[in-house]
Every structure is written in structure tokens, then in C-alpha cells.
Chains A and B, each alone.
Chain A
Amino acid sequence: MATVVELRTAVALAGRFPALSGVDLSVEAGEVVVVLGPNGSGKTSLLRTCAGLLNVSSGTAVVLGCDLREDRVAVRSRVGLLGHAAPLYDELSARENVRFATRALGYPTDRVDPALERLGLVGRLRRTPVGRLSAGQRRRVALAALVARSPELWLLDEPHAGLDAAARRLLGELVEEAATGGAAVLLSSHEPDLSVPMADRVVSLAGGTITSSSPGGRATKLSVVDLPAPLGAGGSNVA
């Protein structure tokens, strides 16, 4: 599998201040990695670094084959970042917002309606200016834009925030579909019970560095499916 994210003792700066202090992390294509950590641990900075939005001052940082220390702009159109604030224009409808995001990449606009439908944005919701939508509905529109753009690396910053139970299930399906389709997913969360089952790997972040790494629920599920059960064993094939 191709390595999508390769960080080695990477130090990233937010302005003049260090946001990441020596992070080691690799994410493969088709892999879902969940980042857990308290407030201020550097989760958002890690995702913004991988999106090419923060300056990497030392160490190695290669995302989708682009060296972020040489050129962090080149990678941006190939990643999809869902941050705390949705990148939406309040006066435009859900359809117009997703259409703008899709056309900006030069993709055909026939991706727009299926993406909106996938997120349950149909009928009036599609035409309403997003400024009049609820926080959860706005989050759905932002996710629809990601689906339409189909990035090679999904960067989801606390994506469960503001979503109802149905939308959370849908998010789980989207992450699974993206990973199965060969994209890498890096997801930060405060909610381990929701995010860990989605993950191949769970890493903990504190003080801008990775402190631990363990397998997630998806890895367990895959190993159960992929590995032949040994005869006579009780069925515990967890890696």
C-alpha cells in the first residue's frame, strides 16, 4: 500500500509558535487513523499541517508525495479538510456551495447532486441558503462537498460535532467507503466511542507529539474477515 502521510520528527509552526513538536506518523492509502487527545494537544494542527496550511520548520513531512517543506501548496487540491468551521458561503445554497467546490477543481458538476443526495440534502434543503441551515445541516453540506471532490486524503477534525445519530452513522459509512476506495483518512476526535470503531489505528497526541498507538475497531473487524480462523480456536483473531 502507498504511504499517503509520512511525518518524521515534524515540527510545524502556527505563525511563530510551534504547533507540533516532533510528530512521527505514517498513514497508508485505504487506512483510517483516528487521533485522540485533550484540547490543545495539537490535533487540529496535525490535520492542518497535513493539508499544507501550516509551515513545517523541521523534520520530514511528505503528503501524497509532496514534500511540505519544499512546497505545501501543491498538496492542497488533493486533500479534503473538514475543519471546525465549515468552508461555506452563507448566501449560497447547499447546491451552489458544493457546485463551487467541485468546479474549483475542474471536476464535472454531475457529481454535485449525487453527493447532496448521499448526505440526505434533497428538495428544499438543497436550495436553501446555508446561512439558514442548522449547524448539523451545514456540516452535512460540507461533507457533501468532500464527497463530490473525492480527495485522496480525508482530514476530518472532530467530524461528529453537531451531527445527529443518523448523520453520525452516515459519516461512518462515508469514511468506510473512502477508505475502501483507496483514500486515506485522518480523523481527530474527542469521542472515542464513536471514532475508535471506525479506525484501523488509534494514536494519542499530547503536547504536539504522538504518545501512543494502538489498533482500532476497523483493524479488528478486517482481521476477523481477512484471516482464516484457526481450527479449534475460539475465534479470537485480533491482530
Chain B
Amino acid sequence: MWRDALLVAGKDLRIEARSRVGLWQVVPFALLALVLFAFALGPGPVALRAAAPGLFWLAVLFSTVLAIQRSFAIEGGEGTRDGLRLSGLDPAGIFLGKAAAVALQLLVLQLVLFAGVVLLFGARLHTPWLAITASVLATIGLSAAGVAYGALSAGLRVRETLLPLLVLPVLAPVLLAGSRAWAAALATSPAGGGQWLKILGAFAAVYVVVGVVLYGPLQEAA
């Protein structure tokens, strides 16, 4: 399973590095979303700083949907979809590999978005370990849940519009817990941050297990 996961992740990341869809479409989209949120809130620095964690995670959430759609567009053709089913790869390995590739892209995206939050909203990180741990856990949860739902909608003609509808409500707990954990990390005292990490950790664990167990049947159903 782990060997298959590495193989699939390597393949997806190589394709992403060549096509540069993430670099030229997902990253600019996320930054644009951040700027537009800032426009909507107005120029008040206090309001912007207070809203920074929520806006950061909203931008990450919307970008996750794009990254998941891109991950399944790679396997969108009849040939590649059948090819993956006939490849001999363990479905759990395919799931973990695709989720790992998406997670790596989301982590890079968060670095860029963090720079945007600092520049646009004047945010300052006081508890880096809390923000980093929240980001890692949230990213595992987002990519695992996203890939599981991506597999569910992969074979449908309406997948582009259906995926956000299916996945955004499911990812809402990550938005909430990630925002709160980051709010604590940006505040001078990180009080209460730990409990949001527990929620993020539980969400990630549940969706990794769900994906490993269900990816095979979901792939067949698609």
C-alpha cells in the first residue's frame, strides 16, 4: 500500500509540476480570493486582523476544491480511469497517494497565503507551533476528505458542479477549527488552541480511515 501511495503521489506531483495548473491557476485564485475578502471588509486594520484566520481558511477551502478537481481531472479520461483500475495498484494506496499529492500542494499554497495575510492584513504569528500543527492536521483532513468525495463524483458528468456541493459542507468543521486554532496562534495568548487541534486531528484520522477503507468501492462505483 505504501509503495503504491508513493508511486501515485510521485506521478501526480510530476504531472502537476509539468502542467503548472496549481502555480498559475490555484495560487492566483487563492490570493485573489484573499484580496477580494479584504475589499469586502474595508480598510480598517483591526477588522482585517480579526478576520484574517477565517479568511485564510476560506481561501484554503475554496482552493482545496480546485486542487481536488484537478487531481481527478488527471484521471478523467476513459483510458486513464480504466488504466488505474487495471494497474494492479492497491486502491488504498491510490487514495493515500492522491491525498498526499494534494496535501503537499495545499501546504505550499498555505505558505503563500500566509505571506498574503501578513502583507494585506498585518497579521503577526505569536505561537508558530500552534499554527503549523493546525495547518498540518487541517491539510491532512482536507485532502483525505476531498479525495474521498472526489472519487465519489469522479464518474459523473456533473462532477465539476457536484463536488463543491458535496464537499464544502463536509469540510466546514475544518474551516471552523482551523480558523479558531489560527486565531489562537495569532493572538498574544494561545488559550484554547489545543482543543481545536484535537478536533482537526480527529477529523483527519476519520477521513484517512474512511478513504483507505472506501476508496476501492468508490472507484468501482464511479
Contacts and interface: CB of A to CB of B under 8 A. Distances in A.
Contacts of A100: 7, 11
B15 A89 contact: yes
B189 interface: no
Interface in A77-93: 77, 79-81, 83-89, 91-92
Contacts of B14: 91-92, 96
Given A86-B79, A87-B79, A100-B11, A129 B18 contact: yes
Contacts of B160: none
Contacts of A91: 14-15, 18-19
B128 interface: no
Given A53-B86, A100-B11, A104-B89, 18 more contacts: A52-B86, A77-B86, A77-B87, A81-B86, A84-B79, A87-B82, A87-B84, A88-B80, A88-B83, A89-B11, A89-B15, A89-B74, A91-B15, A91-B18, A103-B7, A104-B4, A104-B88, A106-B88
Taking each of A52, A96, A100, which has the highest tally of chain B beta carbons within 10 Å of its own beta carbon?
A100
B77 interface: yes
Interface residues of A, number: 28
A11 interface: no
A68 to B, nearest CB: 13
Nearest to A77: B88
Interface residues of B, number: 23
A84 B78 contact: yes
A87 B74 CA distance: 11
Contact of A89 (B3, B80, B82, B89): B80
B85 A53 contact: yes
A80 B88 CA distance: 11
A198 interface: no
Interface string B127-144: 000000000000000000
B89 A85 contact: no
Given A91-B18, A104-B4, A104-B7, A76 B77 contact: no
Main secondary structure of the interface of B (DSSP, over half): helix
Contacts of B88: 76-77, 104-106
Interface of A: 48, 51-53, 73, 76-77, 79-81, 83-89, 91-92, 96, 100-101, 103-106, 129, 142
Contacts of B83: 87-88, 101
21 contacts: A51-B82, A51-B86, A52-B86, A76-B86, A76-B88, A77-B86, A77-B87, A77-B88, A79-B86, A87-B82, A87-B83, A87-B86, A89-B74, A91-B18, A100-B7, A103-B7, A104-B7, A104-B87, A104-B88, A129-B18, A142-B79
Contact of B78 (A83, A105, A129): A83
Nearest to A48: B82
A37 to B, nearest CB: 20
Contacts of B84: 87
